[in-house]
Structure 1
Amino acid sequence: MNELLYTHFHPDEHRFVDKASEWVERAEQHAVKLTDFLDPRQAFILTTLVNRSQDVQVRFDGGHPDAERRRALVAPDYRVLDAEDTGIRLIEVTSLDDKLKELDHGDYMGAILGLGIKRDKIGDIYPSENGCHFLVAAEVADYMRLNLSQVHRVHVQTELLPLEKLHATGTKLEEMSLSVASLRLDGIVSDVYRLSRAKVLIPIKAGRCKVNWKQEEDPSKALKQDDVISLQGFGRFKVLEIEGLTKKGRFRLKIGKYA
């Protein structure tokens, strides 16, 4: 059965397809599975597989309604999931050091992963001038609270807070305007990161680029409005708007780079 499913997904996604298929099969046999945090692409794959079964349901929760990364409860369709604990905890990071306001998403992510925590156990991260709120799986929350004492050479304190105290800061995007000959992935990535076309072809063809959280190895793929693109080692950006054509037939784009 999975061999047929594989045709719909990138080869690098087949391992997750296998895991998600197993969750669905177990739910058909009356078991309940609480997953780690899933990115939007993984959530899409899981939803696709759940929809193939009449006897299984899924509930997603990321700690708040607009969460990007969410845990999933996969369960038999008769199970009432609204009151089920999805195992999400909120940690607040603060400091008396003025340099705290200079820290960004990457700094906090690096400090968390540096403790040996897998990315799958971490939900959304919300940095602000006053510190940071981030969501973690309950099973690693105490370890995080006790061991996260420094972020990019800034000494910090941590505290577990109730989820209703979450301050979900808006995503900061650095806007830029581009004029490009086409909507090809390699051309736009090249302009956004100010790299030569030759230099972006290597990571794209090596599978280090994702479009909407899906690995994309075709440099000629046409991008569209609202696409989110990430290039390993360089961050990610969003195509905010395709504004139209110039007199010379070039596309005017508005891009938002994630801070």
Structure 2
Amino acid sequence: MPHNELYAHFHPDERAFVDRAWEWVERAAELHEVRRTDFLDPRQAHILFTLANRHPDAAIRLDGGSPDAERRRAIVAPDYRPLEDEPIGISVLAVSSDDRRIADLDHGDYLGALLGLGIKREKIGDLHVREDGCHALIAEEIGDFLRTHLRQVHRAEVSASVLPLEQLIEVKPELEETVLSVASMRLDGVASDAFRLSRAKIVDPIRAGRCRVNWKTVEDPSVPLSEGDVVSLKGFGRFKVLAVEGVSKSGRIRARIGKFV
């Protein structure tokens, strides 16, 4: 496929991944290779799924270890190969502790501890954090290393064990819901209210490429948001547009959002 056509629907920052993903698809279709990727974020999964569907001789399966997984591994293979029998290579890292401070740990604490051991983010899937510990979905090939070396998360001493996927305890992400009254559903307007920043302070980070909508970098502050969109702003967190609930008598739009906590 010509490169201009390959890149047509993707952001320039995504070109390196598009090239890699297309190579996986071509090698599966033409060289009959089977490839299992690391964990992909939702945008990368969308790109790979889109490219695989463009090639009639390639097939793809995405699996993150649970039905609602955000980050997923992919298997790319020739279209004649049954993918359901291919192992996805995901284990559960169970982190626990007798230290009462474990109840204060959050997603960032656990992720930071894992990355601090030299693990690449791509080897880690979703993290399910509870008051008594965490179940982290991981690439099975790093399970023994983490079981041996993960001894501390933030200030709490911990122990780690590796479990099969069937023993995963899922935790649904918490959303702090708020109803906003906005002039329009423009990205800068909704995000400034959601993050409690002035419109002037929200525009610069958006234009600098620090904002993603549905995991795709967006640099235009005027992009309209719709129900279901997930917006993240580096350094400020992320929120989801849960519903657009109508227009008030004064002409303002009521939008219900959920901030990830």
TM-score range, shorter chain: over 0.9
Pairwise mapping of residues 1-259 of structure 1 onto structure 2 (< 5 A)?
A: 1-28=2-29, 29-259=31-261
Deviation at 1:72, TM superposition (A): 0.5
Tell me the alpha carbon deviations over residues 90-131 of structure 1, each in whole angstroms, 9 at most, x when there is no partner.
Answer: 101111122212212122112222222111111011001121
C-alpha distance in 2, partners of 1:242/1:160?
43
Tell me the alpha carbon deviations over residues 56-98 of structure 1, each in whole angstroms, 9 at most, x when there is no partner.
Answer: 1001111122211110010011112222111111101111122
Identity across the alignment (%) = 60
Aligned-partner residue type, residue 238 of structure 1: K
C-alpha distance in 2, partners of 1:225/1:91?
34
Unaligned runs of at least 5 residues, structure 1: none
Deviation at 1:209, TM superposition (A): 0.5
Unaligned runs of at least 5 residues, structure 2: none
Deviation at 1:156, TM superposition (A): 1.1
Deviation at 1:140, TM superposition (A): 1.7
Deviation at 1:3, TM superposition (A): 2.2
- Give the RMSD, CA atoms, in angstroms: 1.1
Aligned-partner residue type, residue 26 of structure 1: R
Deviation at 1:2, TM superposition (A): 2.1
- Please list every run of at least 4 consecutive aligned residues from structure 1 whose deviation after the TM superposition is greater than 6 angstroms: none
SS of 1:158's equivalent? strand
Tell me the alpha carbon deviations over residues 140-192 of structure 1, each in whole angstroms, 9 at most, x when there is no partner.
Answer: 22222222211121111111111100011111111112111111111111111
Count the aligned residue pairs: 259
Deviation at 1:138, TM superposition (A): 1.6
TM-score, scaled relative to structure 1? 0.97
Aligned-partner residue type, residue 27 of structure 2: R
C-alpha distance in 1, partners of 2:84/2:8?
34
TM-score, scaled relative to structure 2? 0.96
Aligned-partner residue type, residue 117 of structure 2: L
Aligned-partner residue type, residue 58 of structure 1: I
